Structure 1
Amino acid sequence: MKDLKNSLYYINILRNFLNKMRGNSRNSNVRSDIYQPLMDDDDDDDNNNKPFDEPILKNVERETKISKFVYFMTYTIAIGGFMFGYDTGVISSAMLLLEKDFVMTALQKGFVVGATTFGAFIGGIGSGSFSDSSGRRITSIISSIIFIGGAIILAFASSYELLIIGRLIVGIAVGIASQGVPVYISEISPRFHRGHLVTINVLMCTGGQFFSYLIATLLVFPGGWRWMFGISGIPPAIQLICLFFVPESPRYLVLKEKNEQAKNVLSKIYPCANQNFLDEEIQVINETIATDHSGSYKQLIEHPNLRPLIICCGLQLFQQLSGFDTAMYYGATIMKMAGFSSIRDAIVFSIFVSCTNFFMTVIALLIIDKLGRRKILLYTIIGTVIGLIILGIGFMFITGLTVRQDQCVDYGINCGACVIDERCGFSIDEGTCVSRKQSFISADQFYNKCPNLDWKGSTFTLASLVFFVMAYALGLGHTPWTLQSELFPLNVRGRATGIATATNWITNLIVSITFLPLTEMITISGTFWMYSGFMVIGWIFVFNLVPETCGKSLEEIQGMFL
C-alpha cells in the first residue's frame, strides 16, 4: 500500500510538470492535484495514524506563496518595529533642539535618552505573559494606544519631568512591540517563508530610524522637537485601525482551544490547503505548545542549557558595549562634536549613518547563511574595533584629549573642546574660550564653532563612524538575535530568549545614560577607545565559546551542547 501511494505521489508530480510545460496549467487545477491527499479507501491502521501524507504536507508548505493577506498582517504588526526604530532615531535630532528649551546636564540628557530604554525593559518583561493570556492582537492594540499616548505627552511637554514621563511611556510600548511583533509574525508565516517575513520587522526598524532623520531635517526650527515627537503618533494610529482587520495568530487560538477559528486563519495563510492539512497543522501546534510548557527556568542553569545561555547573554552584552546605540541615540550630537556645528548639517550627515545601517542590514540578511554566524562575527568584530579606534583618533584631532573643565576659560585656545561644552563659545577676537553668559561679547565676536576647523577632520570622523556602523550592521547588529533563536531547545527557548533580551535592554540603558558623562570624564576619544577595548574582549569571547550553527538542523545544534 505504501509503495502504491508513493508511486501515485510521483506520478502526480510528473503530471503537474507536464501540464506546466504545455502551458495549460491553471493554479486551481494543478493545486487541487498537488494538495489532494493520496489516501486509499481502505481503513488500514497506517492511514488512521497518519491523516496526512508526509510528502504532501511538505509540498503544501513549500508550494504555498505569500498571500496579500499575510503581507497585510505582517506589515500591520511590523509598524511596531517601525516605531521602535523611529523612537530610537528621533531623540538624536530632537536632543539638539531640546537643549535650546531645557537646561540639562549631561547626566540629565542621558536620562531623557535612557528613559525609553528603561521603559522598554519594563514593557518587555510583562508583555510575554500578557500576550499568552490576552492574545497577540490585543497586545498590539494596547501597544499602539501607549505609543499614541506617549507621543501626545512628549509633543506638549512643558517640563523636564514630563519629557521623562513621555519617553518612559513610549519605552513601555517599544518593549511590548519588540517582544510581540516577532512572535506574531513567526506564528502567521508559512513555514518556508518565515525567515523572509520575520526580517521585514528588522527592515521596518532600520527604516524607522532612517525616516526619523528625514523628518527631522524638515523640522529644524524653535520648538521643532514637539513636531518630531508628535508625528510619531501617526503610524500607531494607522496600525490601530488596521488591527481591527487582523485576526489572532493560530498558535494563540489553539492555546485557547479555539481550533475552528485557528483553522480559519490557517486557511488564509495556506489558501490552497485542504482539511487534512489544516488538521495536521493544528496537531503540530498542539505538540509544540505541550513541549513549550514542559520547560522551567531552573533548567536554564543546568546542563546542557547553561552554555547556550552564557553565549546568548554574552553576545547581547557585547552588542550594546560596542557603543552602536550611542550612534543612534546621539548621532546628531556626535556630528556636532565632529565639527558640523549647524543643527541641520548635523542631522543631515547623521542620515548617512542611518542609511549605512539600513543597507548593510539588508546585505547581512543575504550573506549570513552563506558565510556562517561564527565566521561573520569574528570578521566584523575586528572591523568594529578598527572603526572605533580610528573614530577616536578623528575626535582627538578635533577636540584633543581635554576633559570637561570647571570654567570655560580653562579650555584656553582648544576651540574643539570648547564649543562642545554647552556653557561655552569661542571668541575670535580674544582667541580663547569664553562663557556664553559674558554679555560684553558681541554677536559677531562670538562663535559656537571653530572658525579655523579643517573640514578634513570632520569628514574623516564621519567616514570612521560610517565604517564602524558598516561592520556592526554586518555582524553584531543581527547575529545575536539569530543565534538566540537557534541554540535552545523548544521547551526553554522562550524563557532563555527573555533573559538574553533583558540583558540587552539593561546594558543598553547603562550605555545610553553614561555616554555623555563619559565624554566629559575621559573625553569622547577615550570613550570610543573604551568601547573598542570591550570589542576585543568580545572577539575573544566569540572565538572561545560561540559554535558555528550554519547549515545545521536545530536538533544538531542542540546536540553540540550535550
Structure 2
Amino acid sequence: MEKAKESTSETTLRHPLLSSKLKNPPKSKYAFASAMIASVASLLAGYNIGVMSGAQIFIKDDLKISDVQIEILAGSVHIYSLVGSLTAGWTSDCIGRRNTLLLTSIIYLLGPLITCAANNYFWLMVGRFVIGIAIGYMVVVRIYVAEVSPAATRGFLTALPEVAINAGLLFGYVSNFAFAYLPVRLSWRIMFALASVPPILLGFGAFSLPESPRWLVMKGQLGKAREVLTQISGSREEAEAQLIEIKEKAGITREDTEVVSTQNYSQDKNIWTELIVTPTPVVCRIIITVLALQFLEQASGIDAVVLYSPRIFEKAGMTTTKELLGATIIVGLTKTALILVPMFLSDRVGRRPLLLSSTAGMAGSLIMLGLGLQMAGDFVIAPTWIVAVCIMAVLSYVGFFSAGLGPVTMAYSSETIPLKLRAQGMGLAIAVNRLVCGVVAMTFISIYEEISIPCTFYMYAVIIGFAFVFVYFCLPETRGKSLEEIEVLFGKR
C-alpha cells in the first residue's frame, strides 16, 4: 500500500494534469472501438483453435489418420505460432501496429482456405502452419490494445482480446455441432472455410484504426501521437500529460512538440541484448515475472480441455457424437460468459485478487475432475451423477480460468514490459505461451494413455498450485497505473 501511495504521489508531482484526470477518467468510445476491431484477430485465433476440437473426429474418419497424427495436427499449430510471435515484435516496430494487423488479416485468410482444400495429411499440416503464424501475430493485438487504452480502463479493454478468443472458441464448437450431420468429407471442410470470412472484415477495419501513440512517439511523430492521445483520452490536457510521460520514457525532451529524429528501435541490435543478455535489474524482474506467468498459465492444462473436451466427456461416460459436441458447446459458453468477470472487475478490485481466486478455483476443479474420472473408470457404464460431476468440474475449471488467469495474464504482461522493449518482450512472452500450449496439446493423449487420465489432471492441479504461490509472492498490483508508472513500480521491489 505504501508503495502504491508513493507511486501515485510521484505521478501527481510530475504530471498534475494526468493525476487529476485519473480521479475521474472519461470513457473513451474511440479506444473501445479500436480495441474491438483489433480483437477480431483474436476471435480468429480462438475459432481456428476451437474448431479442431470437433473437426478432428471427422478428419480422422475422412482421411484415415491415427490418434498420434491427430495429436500432432491439433497441437502443432501452437508450435508453428512461434514463427509469428517471434517476428511480430520486429514487424510491428518496423511498419507499425496497425499495418501488422493488416498483414495478419491476409495470413488468416490464406490458412483456412488451404486447410479446407486439403486432401491429405501433408496439406492439412501446411494449412495449420499458415494459421499458426497468424495466431502468433496475436501478440500485436495485445500490444496495440494496451497502448491505445487509457490507464483507468486498460483492465477492461485489454480483456477484449481474451473475450474475442473465447467467443471464437465458442463459434468453433458451434460450427462442429452445426455441420456434424453433413457428409464426413464435407463437414470439416465447411467448418474451416467459415474462418476465411472474418479476415476480410479485419483487413478493412484495420484501415480505420489509429496508429499506437506510443509507436508514433518512438518514431518521433509527436504531432500525430498527440492527436491519437486526444481522441482516446477525452481531453487535450490529459493527452498532453500522457504525451509528456511517454516522451520521457522514449528519451525525448519536453521542448520537442511535433517531429523529432529518434533512434530506430526496430533496427536496434541492442534490444534483444538488453532484453535477455544484459537486462537491468528492473527489466530482468519484469521479464522473469511475465515469462513465468505465461508458462504457468498454459502448463495448467487449459488447452488439453479446450482441444480434447469430447474425449474427456467420452471418458466420463458419454457415448454419442451429439452428446459430446453438445457438452463441448456448454464448455465454450461457460468459458466465454465468465470472461466478463475480469472485464468489469479488473479495474475495480485489481489484478492480484482475480489471479489468486482463479488459480485456487482451477486447482480445486482439476482435483474434482480427476476424482470424477477415476470413479467413472470403475464402471462399464458410468452413473449419471458421475457424468454430471465431471461436466461440472470441467465447467468450473474453464470458468475460473476465464475469470482470472486467462485474460489477466495477457493484460498483465502487455502492461508491465517497458515501452522500448514491449514489442520484442511480448513476442517472447507469447512464444513461451504458445510453446507450452503446443507441448500440452501434443502430449495430452500420450500422457493419459501412459499414467491414466485422472492422474493427468492431478498433475495439472499441482502445477496450478505453484501458480497460486507464484502470484501471491511475486506479482505487484498494477491496477490504475500508467504503463510508465508500472515500470517504476517494479524498480521499487
- TM-score bin, normalised by smaller chain: 0.7 to 0.9
Structure 2: 5+ residue stretches without partners: 1-14, 253-262
Render the CA deviation track for 1:159-203: whole Å, top value 9, x for unaligned: 111111111111111111x21112222333345443332222222
| 1:522 lines up with 2:451 in the alignment | yes
Query: Which of residues 326, 331, 355 in structure 1 aligns to 2:333?
Result: 355
Q: Which runs of 5+ in 1 are unaligned?
A: 1-52, 401-413, 416-451
- For the 8 Å contact 1:326–1:515, the answer to whether it is kept is yes
Contact 2:87/2:427 (CA < 8 Å) preserved in 1? no
Query: Could you tell me which residue of structure 1 aligns to residue 11 of structure 2?
Result: none
User: What TM-score, normalized by structure 1, do the two folds share?
Assistant: 0.73
Q: For structure 1, which segment, 533-542 or 511-520, has the greater mean C-alpha deviation from structure 2 after superposition? A: 533-542
Amino acid at match of 2:98: R
Indicate if the aligned counterparts of 2:157 and 2:343 stay in contact, CA closer than 8 A. no
Q: CA deviation at 1:229?
A: 0.6
Report what 1:55 is aligned to.
17
Distance in 2 (CA, whole Å) between partners of 1:181 and 1:91 is 23
Distance apart, 1:267 and its partner CA: 5.1
In the TM superposition, residue 458 of structure 1 has moved relative to its aligned partner by 1.8
For the pair 1:241 / 2:173, whether they are aligned, the reply is: no
Q: How does 1:167-316 map to 2 (within 5 A)?
A: 167-176=128-137, 178-220=138-180, 221=182, 222=184, 223-266=186-229, 268-269=231-232, 273=236, 282-290=243-251, 296-298=274-276, 301-316=279-294
CA distance in 1, matches of 2:54, 2:357: 32
1:458 correspondence with 2:387: yes
Q: 1 CA distance for matches of 2:98 and 2:211?
A: 6
Change (3 A) 1:167 1:549: same
- SS across alignment from 1:184: helix
Query: Could you tell me whether the CA contact under 8 Å between 2:375 and 2:386 is conserved in 1?
Result: yes
Contact 1:300 1:309 in 2 (8 A): no
Give the deviation of 1:230 after TM superposition: 0.5
* Residue 478 (str. 1) matches residue 407 (str. 2): yes
The 8 Å contact of residues 120 and 171 in structure 1, kept in 2 or not, is answered as yes
Query: 1:157 matched to which residue of 2?
Result: 118
Which residue of the partner structure matches residue 297 of structure 2?
319
- Could you list the per-position Cα deviations for residues 416-447 of structure 1 after superposition, in whole angstroms to 9, with x for gaps in the alignment? xxxxxxxxxxxxxxxxxxxxxxxxxxxxxxxx
Tell me if the contact between 1:374 and 1:547 (Cα under 8 Å) persists in the aligned partners: yes
- Comparing 247-256 with 114-123, greater Cα deviation is found at 247-256
Q: Which amino acid aligns with 2:85?
A: G
* Aligned: 1:500 with 2:429: yes
After superposition, what is the alpha-carbon deviation per residue over 1:39-85, rounded to whole angstroms, capped at 9, x for unaligned? xxxxxxxxxxxxxx953895499564424x54443322110011121
* Cα distance in structure 1, aligned partners of 2:140 and 2:302: 24
1:234 partner letter = V
- CA 1:465 to 1:182, structure 2 compared with 1: closer, same or farther past 3 Å? same
Letter of the 2:148 counterpart: I
Residue aligned with 1:248, SS: coil
Residue 516 of structure 1 and its aligned partner are, at CA, apart by 1.0
Partner of 1:331: 309
Worse-matched range after superposition: 475-484 or 500-509? 475-484
Deviation at residue 277 of structure 1 after TM alignment: 7.1
Measured after TM superposition, the shift of residue 112 of structure 1 is 0.7
Query: Could you say which structure has the greater relative contact order, defined with CA pairs below 8 angstroms and 6 or more residues apart?
Result: 2
Once the two structures are superposed, residues 293-320 of structure 1 have per-residue CA deviations (whole angstroms, 9 ceiling, x without a partner) of 6961257655344344333322222211
* 1:145 shift after superposition: 0.8
Counterpart pick for 2:438 among 503, 509, 527: 509
Aligned partners of 2:136 and 2:431 also within 8 Å: no
Indicate the residue corresponding to 1:81 in structure 2: 42
Counterpart-to-counterpart distance in 2, 1:359 and 1:271: 30
In the alignment, does 2:397 pair up with 1:468? yes
Deviation at 1:272, TM superposition (A): 5.8
CA deviations 1:254-307 (Å, max 9, x no partner) are 44344444455445445764xx87666655443333389696125765534434
Higher helix share: 2
User: Following the alignment from structure 1 to structure 2, what is the Cα–Cα distance between the partners of residues 70 and 378?
Assistant: 29
Q: Deviations over 1:335-360 (max 9, x none)?
A: 23323222222111112212222222
What's the TM-score, normalizing by structure 2? Answer: 0.82
Distance in structure 2 (CA, Å) of the matches to 1:546 and 1:265: 31
Shift of 1:234: 0.8
Residue 469 of structure 1: how far off its partner (Å):
1.8
The one-letter code of the counterpart of 2:213 is P
1:61 to 1:87, Cα distance in 2 relative to 1, 3 A: farther
**Corresponding residue of 2:370:** 392
CA contact (8 A) 2:369 2:390 kept: yes
Larger Rg: 1
Residue identity matched to 1:355 = L
Q: Distance in 1 between matches of 2:418 and 2:83?
A: 26
Cα distance in 1, alignment partners of residues 188 and 57 from structure 2: 9
- Aligned-residue CA RMSD (Å): 3.2
Q: Which residue of the other structure, out of 292, 302, 318, is the alignment partner of 1:340?
A: 318
SS at structure 2 position matched to 1:477:
helix
**Structure 2: how far apart are the matches of 1:545 and 1:281?**
28
Q: Give the direction of change, closer, same or farther, for the CA distance of 1:248–1:396 in structure 2 (3 Å limit).
A: same
CA distance in 2, matches of 1:541, 1:191: 25
Separation in 1, partners of 2:27, 2:331: 35
Q: CA separation in 1, counterparts of 2:353 and 2:148?
A: 31
**How many angstroms does 1:243 deviate by?**
2.4
Q: Secondary structure at the match of 1:232?
A: helix
